[in-house]
């Protein structure tokens, strides 16, 4: 994909980052090192901790259809660097004014694929996490067979891996002619398979299709150490696992997680009939949003999560797309979403399910001990 990045971006309009996640000693650095040797002598990578957003951006414009290694990601990196990732997914980095007397601008564009590594998942924002394909490195103990294979790779690396790169470049014109058609076919096929089992966002399905397309295109021209079906199952399973993690990063889920955390805290100050009222017959939870919002702020700050101001979060909680929210049908003509409760006064209604193992409830996948 890296070698054909310009073709792919022109057709799809996106190109995700590969994020390598795992503890020290799990093999991330060696994994990166082998891939970097496909492009000649590898550099030491770009540190996200010690680079400014502009310096980091300009570094990503220096090579085309190659591979960059961005290391030491943490969720405490500068917000401008996070924004570079978000715009870089679409190919652009940032636009700056030229030093002239007119209105001319210069747009920096990322021109190569990127591998990112870190000991923290990129969970500071849901939008950032959605632009990554996460690869987990979980094992730090290796079998004799794995160790021998690693040693063989090290020997091969001494002669260089550029012969592999040259071999792949032979099929560039073929890839360019066939990619759009095959990508669209794979996308529709994968969408049918996934929709029969579970729900995934279209962005995730596009990522799956992107990873499958080059293998499907080149399986008759190259010999792969796996068959397409096995590879597809592995890619889909990895995407499902990432989607489960992504659901915890949605702003609505973060709000309910904050409430669950405060409810479970013996020193928390959430009180029945003040902050909420639960109707076990109708399975409706009434909440006093203004009183609960500070709990959300405290939780987000402590966990270094993406922060939304009060009105923005309220709009997401009470949006039509939020299936748990119950609009006030009696006030529909006035577009008033809140409900006047006899105990709480002005409040919002949310439907819930009873938790199977406790006396609590579940809203938007989050369990609350209420």
- pLDDT value of position 97: 52
Strand-pair category, 345-351 with 325-326? antiparallel
Confidence of residue 344 (pLDDT cuts 50, 70, 90): very high
Residues forming a β-bridge with 128: none
- pLDDT value of position 102: 58
Confidence of residue 48 (pLDDT cuts 50, 70, 90): confident
Where is pLDDT greater, at 75 or 282? 282
Task: Give me the helix-helix angle, 172-195 and 5-12, nearest 10°.
Answer: 50
CB neighbourhood size of 204 (10 A): 21
**pLDDT at residue 62 tops 70:** yes
Confidence of residue 39 (pLDDT cuts 50, 70, 90): confident
**CB contact at 8 A, 70 and 45:** yes
Confidence of residue 52 (pLDDT cuts 50, 70, 90): confident
Task: Give per-residue pLDDT as tens, 161-199.
Answer: 888 999 999 999 999 999 999 999 999 999 998 887 777
Confidence of residue 28 (pLDDT cuts 50, 70, 90): confident
H-run or E-run covering 315:
helix 310-317
Q: What is the pLDDT of the chain when averaged over all its residues? A: 87
Contacts of 125 (CB under 8 A, 6+ apart): 82, 86, 249, 306
Backbone phi, psi, residue 278, to 5°: -110, 130
**pLDDT at residue 305 tops 50:** yes
Give the whole-number percent of the chain exceeding pLDDT 70.
Answer: 94
Q: Which of 55-64, 295-304, 346-355 shows the highest mean pLDDT?
A: 346-355
- pLDDT value of position 159: 81
Estimate to the nearest angstrom the gap between the alpha carbon of 54 and the chain centroid. 23
- pLDDT value of position 324: 92
**CB contact at 8 A, 132 and 115:** no
Give the tokens for residue 98: 């030229």
Contacts of 143 (CB under 8 A, 6+ apart): none
CB neighbourhood size of 155 (10 A): 8
**pLDDT at residue 104 tops 70:** no
Give the tokens for residue 42: 């590898």
**pLDDT at residue 226 tops 70:** yes
Q: Which of 174-188, 257-271, 320-334 shows the highest mean pLDDT?
A: 174-188
**pLDDT at residue 98 tops 70:** no
Confidence of residue 333 (pLDDT cuts 50, 70, 90): very low
The DSSP 8-state label assigned to residue 16 in this structure reads: P
Q: How far apart are CA 271 and CA 269, in angstroms?
A: 6
**CB contact at 8 A, 113 and 2:** yes
Q: How far apart are CA 318 and CA 227, in angstroms?
A: 46
DSSP readout, 153-202?
A: HHHHHHT-SHHHHHHHHTTHHHHHHHHHHHHHHHHHHHHHHHHTT----H
């Amino acid at each position: 994909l890296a070698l054909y990045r310009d073709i792919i971006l022109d057709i799809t309009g996106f190109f995700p980052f590969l994020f390598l996640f795992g503890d020290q000693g799990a093999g991330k650095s060696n994994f990166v090192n082998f891939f970097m040797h496909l492009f000649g002598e590898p550099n030491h990578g770009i540190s996200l901790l010690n680079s400014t957003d502009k310096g980091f951006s300009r570094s990503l414009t220096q090579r085309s259809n190659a591979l960059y290694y961005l290391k030491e990601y943490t969720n405490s990196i500068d917000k401008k660097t996070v924004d570079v990732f978000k715009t870089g997914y679409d190919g652009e980095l940032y636009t700056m004014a030229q030093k002239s007397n007119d209105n001319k601008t210069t747009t920096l564009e990322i021109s190569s694929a990127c591998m990112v590594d870190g000991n923290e998942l990129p969970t500071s924002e849901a939008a950032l996490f959605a632009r990554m394909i996460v690869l987990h490195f979980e094992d730090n103990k290796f079998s004799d067979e794995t160790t021998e294979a690693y040693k063989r790779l090290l020997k091969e690396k001494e002669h260089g891996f550029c012969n592999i790169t040259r071999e792949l470049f032979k099929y560039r014109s073929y890839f360019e002619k066939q990619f759009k058609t095959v990508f669209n076919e794979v996308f529709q096929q994968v969408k049918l398979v996934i929709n029969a089992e579970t729900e995934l966002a279209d962005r995730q399905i596009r990522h799956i299709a992107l990873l499958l397309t080059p293998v499907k295109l080149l399986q008759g021209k190259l010999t792969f150490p796996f068959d397409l079906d096995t590879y597809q199952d592995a890619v889909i399973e990895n995407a499902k696992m990432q989607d489960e993690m992504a659901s915890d990063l949605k702003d609505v889920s973060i709000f309910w997680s904050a409430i669950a955390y405060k409810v479970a805290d013996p020193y928390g100050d959430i009180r029945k009939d003040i902050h909420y009222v639960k109707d076990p017959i109708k399975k409706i939870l009434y909440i006093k949003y203004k009183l609960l919002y500070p709990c959300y702020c405290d939780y987000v700050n402590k966990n270094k999560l993406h922060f939304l101001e009060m009105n923005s979060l309220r709009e997401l909680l009470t949006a039509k797309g939020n299936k748990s929210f119950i609009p006030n049908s009696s006030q529909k003509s006035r577009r008033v979403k809140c409900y006047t409760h006899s105990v709480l006064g002005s409040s919002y209604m949310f439907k819930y399910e009873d938790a199977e193992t406790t006396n609590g409830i579940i809203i938007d996948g989050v369990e609350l001990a209420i």
